[in-house]
Chain A
Amino acid sequence: MIPSPASDILAISGLRFAYGDIVAIDGVDLVVPPGRIGLVGANGAGKTTLLKILLGVRPPAAGTISVLGHDLGHGAIEVRSRVGWMPEGECLPPDQTAADFLGYAAELGGLPPRAARQRASDVLGLVGLHEERFRFIGEFSTGMKQRAKLAQAIVHDPELVLLDEPTAGLDPEGREEMLDLVTRLEDFGINAVISSHVLTDIERTCDWVIMLDGGKVLRSGPLSDLSTMDEAELEVIGDLEAVAAAARRLGAEVRVHGVALVISQTGGAAFDTARDAVIAADAAIRRLGPRRTTLEDVFLEAGAVDG
């Protein structure tokens, strides 16, 4: 049995999966708390495979998985009643109305017919398709289809929803709407694992991030950990090189980032060092602020270390 607090939505230990000779998931260990979880990685990193394993569609070659406290090894049927899935590709029948299909999807999730119809209507309203609910899905635009896909994933009121590239194929406006909807899931009491290769989408919507690369976990932790006060970004009026040299003399790590200097020093001393270096080089501060580490930075850094 996987040691995991009851509140953790996912607990994975020693997970391994291969398509023939190609290893897609290689020794993954994860414990993930409730909330909105970002799953990031390049194409082929193993994101979709991991989601399908969590859904119980693909049996792992090795390892144990607990989803919402339920061991997948004891059968996926129980888990699927409590989990929703929004696939990346097409999954909607064009010859059914949105209301009919959503009602059917809710019944497939185990809801009684009357409750299913009510839920279908409610959820279509939540995703902004209430006016379109009696139109055939084949007549929907790409953005409306994406919203209908999200609706079918949550229509049976799951505790966890797995979203595979929810913004794929959307224009900027549609993308904003979809990200807003994903952000609202927490208000509905639905945990979400959001797979994406667009790092800014994850930064905007998630509070925990799992980084996958080549089937391995590069990092798993709160997104807030990526913000640090140990790095200051400084633009100066005066000699940039002189300020950099002064900062180095004060014990900081310094690198040039365009017209700015990034001064790194542990213990929150980066800002004091920046101030002292400017004074020592007889320069003036144009801009000084914390440098927020982006997912991209972490990804590149972790990939470089791994590589």
Chain B
Amino acid sequence: MAEGVVFDLGYRPHEGERLGRSGARRALYKDGLRRVLGLRRKMRRKVFPLVLMAVSILPALFFVALSVVAGEFDQTVDFFDHPQYFDLTGSMALIFIALAAGELLIPDRVHGTLQVYASRPLTTVDYLIGRGAALATVVISFLWFPHLVLFLGRAWVSSEGFGSYVTSEAGVLLTTLAASVVYFAAFAPLAFAVASVSKRAALAAGVFLGVITISGPTSASLVDAGFPSLGLFAFQHHPGYVKDWILDSSTHSWIPERAGYDPILSVVVIVTVAVASWLVVLFRQRRIT
């Protein structure tokens, strides 16, 4: 009769490879992705990311499906244009960034987990880049992925054939990707800056969304009242204005445009706010660590 045997393996030291700082950076990035998407967390952490991503992608899938079905009956359906689709995904990205930025920075600080990072082969800059890169990956992906779906859908139902359409229109993939990066750069650094001085993720998200959404109507009123330079404070409008510039379209009357500024000045504002926000986050993080 066989008998069970318990083996006490004791302590086994790690004798394999050590990846050092590069491995730590990769781990940080992966953890950021999991945290932003709520993976390996409780169910309620997954709800917001999944809903926002579904809202972003479903219209594109719906229109592609509709076009394929219509094509069976020799009918055509007009798709959303790429610039117009950013009206939907840009808003989703704004909400997503507001929630995710706080989720990436605040729990580590509130629960003292920064002390664990401080004891590993990482610098403060590594930590912030890892967190930022994770958010960038997810946000840019979900801003851009619906455009890829639209592009492939159009190519599928194109009268000129899939290959010809892809070859002739491939440039739109690059321009929509560039516009996605602009949306991320316009919103994420400021969201991180607000999160870096807040103790509650919900509060940080509320403050960030409040600042961004109020900046539009407030600036519009001031521009209309004869203060055109204040049009540069319409933070919500800069990425849309630059996006239209990149995609060579005109979807709205953007406030910086109404104030008489060129899109390049909106790029300057986005970069300036991003750099200033980065410095705030870096200062706060170094102080805490």
Contact = CB atoms under 8 A, between A and B. Distances in A.
A187 B289 CA distance: 32
A290 B45 CA distance: 63
A44 interface: no
B226 interface: no
B287 interface: no
* Chain A, interface residues (CB within 8 Å), range: 35 or more
Nearest to B103: A95
B115 to A, nearest CB: 4
Contact of A115 (B11, B16, B122): B16
A57 B118 contact: yes
A146 interface: no
Contact of A81 (B17, B27, B115, B121): B121
B14 A115 contact: yes
A80 B119 contact: yes
Contact of A111 (B12, B14, B45): B14
B75 interface: no
Contacts of A108: 24, 27-28, 116-117, 120, 122
Contacts of A109: 24, 120-121
A110 B120 CA distance: 8
Q: Is the interface of B mostly helix, strand, loop or mixed?
A: loop
Given A81-B18, A108-B122, A122 B115 contact: no
A115 B45 CA distance: 28
Nearest to B118: A57
Nearest to B13: A157
B136 to A, nearest CB: 20
Contacts of B23: 107, 110-112
Nearest to B123: A77
A90 B107 contact: no
A107 to B, nearest CB: 3
Contact of B20 (A81, A89, A90, A189): A81
Contacts of A111: 14, 16, 18-19, 23
Contacts of A61: none
A187 B24 CA distance: 27
Interface of B: 9-14, 16-21, 23-24, 26-28, 30-31, 40-42, 45, 107-108, 111-113, 115-123, 289
The 8 A-B pairs with the shortest beta carbon distances in the complex, nearest first, are A85-B119, A107-B27, A157-B14, A188-B11, A90-B112, A108-B120, A91-B112, A87-B115
